[in-house]
């Protein structure tokens, strides 16, 4: 398994254990739970994607990116 994929899987597991609801960007529902972690959120043009965008009630809280 490539290092980036393994890191994302580890982050997914840690966020899930901490109570976050994991969702893919194409199927994200910010009202699914109190804390939603969205995988692969597109950023502004030319900036790529955030590994995880963390949403609390009605607003984004943080972006998580795997260190190179």
* Structural domains of the chain, count: 1
The answer to whether residues 15 and 37 touch, using CB atoms and an 8 Å cutoff, is yes
Q: Please give the average per-residue pLDDT across 26-30, as a whole number.
A: 78
Q: Domain residues for 26?
A: 3-64
The answer to whether residues 41 and 27 touch, using CB atoms and an 8 Å cutoff, is no
pTM score: 0.75
pLDDT tens-digit series, residues 6-19: 888 888 999 999 99
Res 68: pLDDT = 56
Contact by Cβ (8 Å): 23, 36: yes
Average pLDDT, integer, range 54-62: 85
3-state secondary structure of 11: helix
Spell out the residues 6+ positions from residue 19 whose beta carbon is closer than 8 angstroms to its own: 34, 35
Residue 5 has pLDDT above 70, yes or no: yes
């Amino acid at each position: 398994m490539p290092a980036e994929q393994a890191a994302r899987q580890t982050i997914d597991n840690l966020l899930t254990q901490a109570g976050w609801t994991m969702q893919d960007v194409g199927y994200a529902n910010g009202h699914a739970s109190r804390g939603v972690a969205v995988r692969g959120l597109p950023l502004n043009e030319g900036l790529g994607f955030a590994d995880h965008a963390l949403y609390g009630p009605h607003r984004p809280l943080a972006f998580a990116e795997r260190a190179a």
